[in-house]
């Protein structure tokens, strides 16, 4: 397992931040959690088109190798 990177997940919430559902995971990867957190405000502005009363941006740790494998799997499924 390689070093962790951080990505921003956009969550749609039913009421004021509770009962949230992931609606998007952004592709940009951040080397530190602090960099990721600093980018959450802009990420919310750029991804405010989901039909939920409240949207929340959260940073999550992600392994870059795992993310690459997931993208490759999605590409293979689209080609099928």
The domain ranges of the chain are 5-79
Complete DSSP assignment for 54-69: EEEEEEEEE-HHHHHH
Selection from 31, 52, 53, 40 nearest residue 8 by Cα: 40
**pTM of the predicted structure, to 2 decimals:** 0.72
Mean pLDDT in runs of 10 for the chain (80 residues)?
A: 84 82 95 96 95 93 62 51
């Amino acid at each position: 397992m390689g070093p962790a990177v951080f990505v921003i997940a956009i969550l749609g919430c039913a009421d004021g931040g509770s009962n949230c559902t992931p609606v998007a995971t952004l592709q940009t990867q951040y080397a530190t959690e602090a960099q990721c957190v600093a980018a959450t405000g802009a990420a919310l502005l750029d991804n405010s088109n989901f039909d939920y009363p409240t949207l929340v941006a959260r940073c999550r740790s992600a392994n870059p190798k795992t993310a690459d494998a997931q993208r490759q799997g999605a590409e293979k499924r689209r080609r099928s």
